[in-house]
Amino acid sequence: MRSTSQNGLRLVWVYPDLLSTYGDQGNALVVERRARQRGLDVSRLDVRSDQQIPTSGDIYLIGGGEDRPQRLAAERLIRDGGLNRAVANGAIVFSVCAGYQILGHEFINDLGQRQPGLGLLDVISTRGEGARCVGDVLADIDERLGLPPLTGFENHQGVTHLGPTARPFARVRFGNGNGTGDGFEGAYNETVFGTYMHGPVMARNPHIADLLLKLALDVNALPPVDDQWYEALRNERIAAASQPA
């Protein structure tokens, strides 16, 4: 069994030296902040790609990056093996863009080759033929998760196909998401999440940070915190996505 309550909540930010191109630190900051606001004892560990991934973390965050760093990160994560062991132990993982692709079975790397991922999400990523997907996105998060609409900013060329054991994280109203033409955005299973949204995504969707905290703590609810600025930003960005320039 996991022992979150005894040792405090352990947040692990995976490979900021390679996968932190789009303000990905923001997701770690928001999760950390919202845990502290609930009076939780939280520690954050930033693990560089020449360091070992600890297997005892509760929540792992992995961000977006450029094409070569993505390949290097996948190689090093497979060699390390720690993230897969952590997931086997029940840890929660939230991934964005390049990190999302790495968690799948395979993706296309900077050399144009198919490269194996970690196989933690039942998805396969290819490279899109059309224009790069750039801009504000509005989507409805899978109803099983009970969260308000997803707002984010996407900037990717990738196309991600879901296999039978991955559920779409959201369905887009405006924007591209997975780029498969079926309106799917992101993917998830019981403990592993992936999205193309940065912004960073937690800054615009603090409910996702809370969802990760609830899953890690195995609780159904958290004490409320003051969300006035998050809500103001959400309203502004949702309106902007609905009326693209």
Under the rule (CB under 8 A), what is the footprint of other proteins?
Answer: 16-18, 20-26, 29-30, 33, 48-50, 66-69, 72, 134-135, 153, 155, 198-200, 203-204, 229-230, 232-233, 236
Please identify, using beta-carbon distances, which residue of 66 and 182 lies nearer to other proteins.
Answer: 66
Shortest Cβ 21–other proteins spacing (Å): 7
Please identify, using beta-carbon distances, which residue of 77 and 87 lies nearer to other proteins.
Answer: 77
Two structure tokens written together for 63: 């961000």
- A 10 A CB-CB count for 173 gives 16
Shortest Cβ 141–other proteins spacing (Å): 19
CB 192 within 8 A of CB 93: yes
Shortest Cβ 89–other proteins spacing (Å): 26
Please identify, using beta-carbon distances, which residue of 17 and 90 lies nearer to other proteins.
Answer: 17
Please identify, using beta-carbon distances, which residue of 26 and 57 lies nearer to other proteins.
Answer: 26
Shortest Cβ 203–other proteins spacing (Å): 5
Please identify, using beta-carbon distances, which residue of 12 and 97 lies nearer to other proteins.
Answer: 97
Q: Please report, for residues 59, 137, 152, 237, the alpha-carbon distance to residue 149 in angstroms, rounded to integers and kept in the order given.
A: 23, 10, 10, 11
Which residue do the tokens 């029940």 mark? 90
Two structure tokens written together for 57: 């973390």
Shortest Cβ 197–other proteins spacing (Å): 10
CB 216 within 8 A of CB 9: yes
